[in-house]
Chain A
C-alpha cells in the first residue's frame, strides 16, 4: 500500500476539521466493552502475563518453531511458501491463481494482504479480488484503505455506507437507497453470497500458526473467512513468521485474551483451525491449501530494541484506547496500521524516513501499554523511534535546537532550578492580573488553541522539597 505517513501532520489537521469523520470517531465504544469483559474474568491479568511469556518463548526459539510448523503443515497436505518481500509474496499468490486459471478471488480480512497491496496487484493482472468482511467490502467499493485493524470502516457513517451501496449495487438491480444498517447488511450478504460460490481462490490471513499441528487459525464474527476458505478450489493463507505458537493450548490462552481485548466479546463467533487441503473422502473444502510466510522486516526486528512489538496479536486495544487515534481516526496515520502499534510497526516496515511524525503521534499517556494483552511497552518503543529520528537528523532543526538547549539545562540541576524559578516568578508577575496568557513567545503551539495559565507560587521542585520537609538537593 502507498504510504502518506510522511504527511501525518497535515493528515491530522484535515481529520480534525472533518465533521463527518469526527462524528464517526466520537462513537468508538470498544473501550467500555473491553473493560466489562475483563471485569468478568478475574484471571485476566495472569493470562496476560502467560500470553506474553508464550510469545517471548516463541521469539527466543523462532527458527525451531518455524521449522516444526512447516514440517507438520506439509505432513498434513499444506504447501508452504517463504517470502522475504512483498514482491515475492505477491508473485507467489499470483502464480497459484494463474495455475488454477482463477478469475475471481474472495478475501477474508488480512492485514498482510493490505501490507502487500494484494488487491491492486491481482487487479493489475486481470484477476478480480472481492473483500468479504463487511467493513472491508465497504471500503473496497469506496477505494479507501482500512482505518482500523479490526473495524476497517469505522470512519464511515451509516449515510455514507448507504450512498456507497446505492452507487455500486445498481448493477445487481438494487435501485433503492437503504436507510437501515440491517438492510445494508442483508443486501451485502445477498450480493457476496454469489461471489463466494463463484470464487476460484480464497485468501485469508492468520491469527496463529500452530507448530504442534501445522494449522493456521482465523478469527471472525461474520463467517466470511470460513466461506472464503471452504468454497473455492484453493485456500491461500497470508501470515508472518511471528504468528507461530507451540501448541493448541498456547493458542487457547491467547484466544482467551484476543476477543476480550478487541471487542469485549467473551469469544469471537468463529475461530477456525485449518489443517491441510480437503481429505480424499471429504465432500467440501479447498483442494489446495497454501501458506505464504512473509517476513517483510520482521526478522530484522527480532534482533533490535523493537523485538517486543513482535508479540502483537493485532487486537486493536491500543488503538481503541489511544486519545490521538480517537481524535483523528486511522487514515491520518497514512499506512496500514494506525494507532500506537502502527506507529511502532510502520517505521520498521516502510522505514523511519518514510514514516515521518508517527513516533511523535503520541501523548505518552500510557493507556496503550496498560491495555495491551501482550504487555508491549508501546511508549518505550515509540521513544526508541524518536531517538532514532533525532540521531538521523530527521526531526526539524528548531526542534533539535530546542531539545539541545533543554538538555544543556537539564544536565545542570542548579542552573535548571534557577532558570525555572526565575521563569515561574516572571510569568507569575506578568500574568497575575488576567490569570492566563493569550499568547507567549515560543509557545504558539500551545496558545494557538488555548490560554496558558499563569504559574502560581513556587516551582514543582520547591513544592516537593517543602512537602518532604527537606530542602532541594
Chain B
C-alpha cells in the first residue's frame, strides 16, 4: 500500500508547509535520535546504591510483588522451595534455560521437578532471570531470548524472578543505557517487558483483584552477591 504511504507523507508535508524543504530538520531529527539524551529524571531515582536498593524493594512491594533477599546465587533453589511451600504449590518449576540459573545447585532440591522450554498454559510457576531492576517504581526489565522465553513471564500463575543487587539502577534511563550496550553485541531483543508487580484488573466496579491474565504472584529473589550488573542472568 505504498500509494497510501506516499499520500500520508505528502499530506503531512503539506500540513507542515514550506519549511519541510529545510535540510536542517532532518539533521535535527538524526541528532536527537543519535544523542537519545535523557529528559528530566526525577530526584527520587537519583540515589546511591544502598538507597537505590531500599527504594527498589519498597516500590516493588507497594506494587504487590514480594521480595526475598538471599546472600548468594547458590541460595536461589532454597528460596524457590520456600516460596512454593509457603504458597502450597506443587514442586514443579518452568526454568528459563539461562546459564546462570542452570548452574545453580538444583540437585540439593531433588523434589523440585524442573521443566524447560516455553511456558504451557497450565504451568504453576516459572523462574526467570531479569536484565535490570528499576528502583524508581520497583520495575523489572525482562528481555526475550532463547534463554528466557517471554511466555515464562506471563502464562504461569506464579512468576519468580532472580535479580542481582548490582542489576538495580535508579531511573529507567540507566536501564536503557545498559540495554543499548548489551544489544550492541547480541542485537535488539524482540520483546522488552517492564513488569511492575503481578497482573491485576479493576474492570468490575473498579475493585482491584490480582491475577487477571498474567501471574497472580510476582516473587523477586534478590541476590546480594556480585556480578558486573551487565547482561541478563
Contacts and interface: CB of A to CB of B under 8 A. Distances in A.
A253 interface: yes
Contact of B176 (A252, A284, A285): A252
Interface stretch (A266-274, A324-332, A402-410): A266-274
B214 A158 contact: no
Contacts of A215: 192
A266 B59 CA distance: 9
Interface in B122-155: 137-139, 144-146, 149-151, 153-155
B228 interface: no
Interface in B179-233: 187-207, 209, 211-215
Interface residues of B, number: 78
Contacts, number: 263
B63 interface: yes
B89 interface: no
B7 interface: yes
Given A226-B193, A299-B11, A189 B212 contact: yes
B121 to A, nearest CB: 5
Q: Kindly name the residue among B36, B62, B119 whose own CB sees the greatest number of chain A CB atoms within 10 A.
A: B36
Interface stretch (B24-32, B77-85, B104-112): B24-32
Given A68-B29, A227-B155, A182 B11 contact: no
A256 B4 contact: no
A42 B43 contact: yes
A222 B212 CA distance: 5
B72 interface: no
A377 interface: no
A230 B206 contact: no
Contact of A63 (B20, B28, B121, B139): B20
Given A50-B39, A299-B8, A271 B190 contact: no
Given A247-B32, A252-B173, A192 B40 contact: no
A304 B17 CA distance: 12
A365 interface: no
A47 B38 CA distance: 12
Given A221-B199, A221-B212, A269-B199, A275 B194 contact: no
B149 A138 contact: no
B213 A227 contact: yes
A76 interface: yes
A115 interface: no
A246 interface: yes
Interface of B: 1-2, 4-5, 7-9, 11-17, 20, 25-26, 28-29, 32-33, 36-40, 42-44, 59, 62-63, 117-119, 121, 137-139, 144-146, 149-151, 153-155, 172-173, 176, 187-207, 209, 211-215
Given A62-B16, A270-B195, 20 more contacts: A29-B206, A61-B29, A64-B29, A82-B5, A154-B203, A186-B211, A212-B36, A222-B214, A224-B214, A226-B154, A227-B214, A230-B151, A249-B37, A252-B176, A253-B39, A253-B40, A255-B172, A256-B42, A269-B195, A285-B144
Q: Which 7 A-B pairs have the closest CB atoms?
A: A223-B214, A303-B15, A222-B212, A135-B203, A82-B5, A302-B15, A299-B11
30 contacts: A41-B42, A50-B40, A82-B8, A83-B4, A84-B4, A133-B203, A138-B204, A181-B204, A189-B212, A196-B213, A197-B121, A211-B29, A226-B150, A227-B155, A230-B151, A241-B12, A249-B36, A267-B194, A269-B196, A269-B199, A270-B195, A272-B193, A274-B191, A275-B188, A277-B190, A278-B190, A279-B187, A295-B8, A299-B8, A300-B15
